């Protein structure tokens, strides 16, 4: 009984960090929860006197679990129809569950998570653990069954791939101003105003769930994105409201039965450079628990 109470106390103490690691490794809150469950099971079967560094041990375990999950799903991803986007972390203006708010504060944008999806599982593990969570390569190497120097090279290779990701405007107010301008122009079907708030090389991705293609999955360029928004905006923009999506200004799309979409926006110098629209119902299930915000039970 004492071991069980000790294990529960340790797991709860480190749960937030472990969940953040798992989400950045997997790009899915649902899969992150599965990884945490497996980590908890392994901890509950361990003896307290065998663990001298609990935080390091838990990070190692969740890292290895995520690595196995990434490797096993690669073949399934090849069958996905259209663009694949990460499961969004969404919050509104009201206070949400503490764990969810913590995820939002430390969230990375959907655009970065999209790039992480193109890394090999080993590159992703080395980059996420070292660059995002400060885990030494001496600890990462054994997880990958490689030397610390080899792990360092994996992280360096990943870093070069990630370097091209747009860095969002740090001022949330300026982000919101650009998103609000985009939404107002879309509602009016105003092509010129839409072009004015979009970066010339803007990228617009749509994840419809990987089963049926719902219109173009990828659009590039201000003219093409503005045309799509001007045509569809008057019909659908009325369902949109501002929200925090992965810590940045974005939009939540809500129908009669609850959320039906979430759009992450990347704003740089007052212009929208990326729009990532998630319509996959499976990736939006947790939003139905809290009227637009995921609940803490997902942790």
Alpha helices (H) along 129-205: 137-144, 148-162, 172-188, 191-197
Closest among 235, 143, 148 to 186, alpha carbons compared: 235
Q: CA 223, 250, 24: angle at the middle one, nearest 5?
A: 110
CATH code for the domain in which residue 59 is found: 1.20.140
Task: Look at residue 202 and tell me if it is in a domain.
Answer: yes
Domain range for 185 is 172-298
Are 177 and 282 within one domain? yes
Are 182 and 150 within one domain? no
Q: Report how many domains make up the chain.
A: 2
Q: Phi, psi at residue 168, to the nearest 5°?
A: -65, 155
Task: Look at residue 256 and tell me if it is in a domain.
Answer: yes
Residue pair 238/252 in contact by the 8 Å Cβ criterion:
no
| 235 half-sphere exposure, CB direction, 13 A CA radius | 5
- pLDDT (tens, 9 = 90+) of the chain, 299 residues, equals 567 788 888 899 999 999 999 999 999 999 999 999 999 999 988 776 667 788 999 999 999 999 999 998 876 666 666 678 999 999 854 434 445 545 555 668 898 999 999 999 999 999 999 999 999 999 999 999 999 999 999 999 999 999 888 888 999 999 999 999 999 999 999 999 999 999 999 999 999 887 655 567 789 999 999 999 999 999 898 999 999 999 899 999 999 889 999 999 999 999 999 999 999 999 998 786 544 443 333 33
Are 10 and 127 within one domain? yes
Q: CA 4, 64, 143: angle at the middle one, nearest 5?
A: 115
Task: Look at residue 100 and tell me if it is in a domain.
Answer: no
Task: Look at residue 246 and tell me if it is in a domain.
Answer: yes
Task: Look at residue 69 and tell me if it is in a domain.
Answer: yes
Chain-centre distance for alpha carbon 198:
22
Task: Look at residue 112 and tell me if it is in a domain.
Answer: no
For the CA atoms of the chain, what is the radius of gyration? 20
Element (H, E) at 103: helix 98-105
Task: Look at residue 93 and tell me if it is in a domain.
Answer: no
Residue pair 143/67 in contact by the 8 Å Cβ criterion:
yes
Are 188 and 60 within one domain? no
């Amino acid at each position: 009984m004492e071991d069980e109470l000790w294990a529960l106390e340790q797991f709860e103490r480190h749960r937030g960090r472990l969940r953040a690691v798992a989400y950045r490794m997997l790009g899915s809150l649902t899969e992150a929860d599965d990884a945490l469950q497996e980590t908890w099971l392994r901890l509950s079967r361990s003896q307290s006197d065998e663990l001298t560094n609990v935080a390091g041990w838990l990070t190692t375990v969740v890292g290895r679990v995520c690595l196995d999950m990434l490797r096993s799903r690669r073949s399934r991803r090849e069958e996905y129809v259209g663009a694949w986007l990460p499961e969004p972390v969404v919050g509104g203006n009201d206070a949400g569950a503490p764990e969810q708010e913590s995820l939002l504060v430390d969230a990375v944008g959907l655009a970065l998570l999209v790039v992480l999806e193109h890394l090999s599982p080993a590159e992703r593990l080395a980059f996420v653990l070292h660059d995002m969570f400060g885990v030494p390569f001496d600890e990462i190497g054994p997880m990958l069954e490689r030397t610390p120097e080899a792990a360092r090279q994996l992280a360096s290779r990943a870093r070069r791939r990630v370097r091209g990701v747009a860095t969002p405007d740090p001022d949330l107010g300026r982000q919101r101003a650009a998103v609000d301008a985009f939404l107002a122009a879309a509602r009016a079907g105003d092509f010129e105003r839409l072009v004015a708030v979009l970066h010339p090389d803007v990228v617009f991705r749509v994840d419809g769930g990987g089963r049926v293609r719902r219109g173009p999955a990828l659009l590039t360029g201000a003219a093409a994105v503005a045309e799509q928004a001007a045509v569809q905006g008057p019909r659908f923009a009325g369902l949109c409201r501002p929200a925090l999506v992965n810590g940045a200004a974005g939009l939540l799309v809500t129908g009669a039965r609850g959320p039906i979409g979430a759009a992450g926006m990347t704003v740089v110098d007052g212009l929208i450079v990326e729009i990532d629209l998630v319509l996959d119902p499976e990736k939006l299930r947790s939003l139905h628990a809290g009227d637009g915000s995921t609940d803490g039970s997902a942790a």
